Structure 1
Amino acid sequence: MTAVRQDAWSPDDDLILAEVTLRHIREGSTQLAAFEEVGERIGRTSAACGFRWNSCVRKRYEDAIQIAKQQRQKRNYLKKQTVTAASAVTSQVSSISVFETEERIFKGDTNSLDEGLSVDAVIRFLRTWKSTYQDLSRQIKLFEKEMKDKEEELFRLRSENERLNHEVNNAQTDYRTVNDDYKTLIQIMDRARRLTVFSGEEEAKPRFKMDANGNLERIE
């Protein structure tokens, strides 16, 4: 059972916690397993190790965590590729074995098979290949049709995009024209208003004339 320590965490403890946790992340293991391993090594509970990691240590190793995750993804990818390659090799070996068997049948190897069975096997072999060829032909035609549809859709979208761009340009041109006309109208109205006010002031001023006696007389 892991001992429960009450003393403070030392830099060495933090380093062990970081190294073990990053290794588990790289290898695709869980952090819980890492905390249990660290707890056994430094004499603390896995809960204490988890709390220390999340509250303090993790913040100092964010870049290292991202690198460890990338290494884990690369490791999983290489592992998957290895499994895929092994499966492909196994499939190829099986295909070669089948081909060699049917080749012997086609050449009339009757050491272990009678003549009637060899003919049946050849017929089955040819039918299988014919069916496979037909399936591949249908798939190719389907892919060609899909590609043609995609090209037509792309052409339609490009045409629509050009049309919309043309409409946007026309709308911008119309907006600028209307805006310029509006500014011109405002200027004309402002000048007319100033002329009206000026004319009203001129008409409001009283006018006088001098009579024969030298007195000023207001003219209505």
Structure 2
Amino acid sequence: MKVRQDAWSHEDDLLLAETVLRHIREGSTQLNAFDEVGDALNRTSAACGFRWNAVVRDKYDEAIKLAKKHRKQRKRQLAQDSKPIVYKQYQPKVEAPSPMLEDSNREVVVPVEPFVKNERELTMEEVISFLRSIQGSGSKAGALELENNELNKKVQHLEESYSQLQVQYQGLEEDYQSIIKIMDRARRMTMLEDEPEDRQAAAFRMDKNGNLEKVAR
């Protein structure tokens, strides 16, 4: 009969925690874990259970959550493996023989592909990971779209600025041509003033284009 009454050591608590966590992961019960630890430490199952619930359990909250998560995944995998395997048989299309070459006594052999096992179903973790990857791709695409819109706005602004510069340049070109004409007329008037008196006696007039022309007397 198990009647051990000495205090629990650190090694005893560690053995209790490891055994309980292992039974949780494997889908067993904590009572089975207490029985196993009681046999190893020569203690009763009730004493092991009391020690676990009163002292040890609070130190392993995260480990217990991980062990339960592992147990769910293990059950899901076992359920998936226990499903009957369904095979698909590939039937290729066989063309009918030509009536001229048909032989009623000839045996036709249809090739059949090897059996193919269906792919396993995706786990919830794989689906979540896939959805997160899609969400990440969508965020990158959205950022690229915003950047593209900003670049389009800059290009449009540059095109408008270029059009305005073209209009200004055309105005300056017209002003420049007007100045050239005025300077040319002034030069011609200066040349007329410097000519001898007998030449100045000749009469001139300005046409509609601003050019001087000699008038016959």
TM-score class, shorter-chain normalisation, is 0.3 to 0.5
TM-score by length of 2: 0.40
Say which structure is richer in helix: 1
Larger radius of gyration: 2
TM-score by length of 1: 0.40
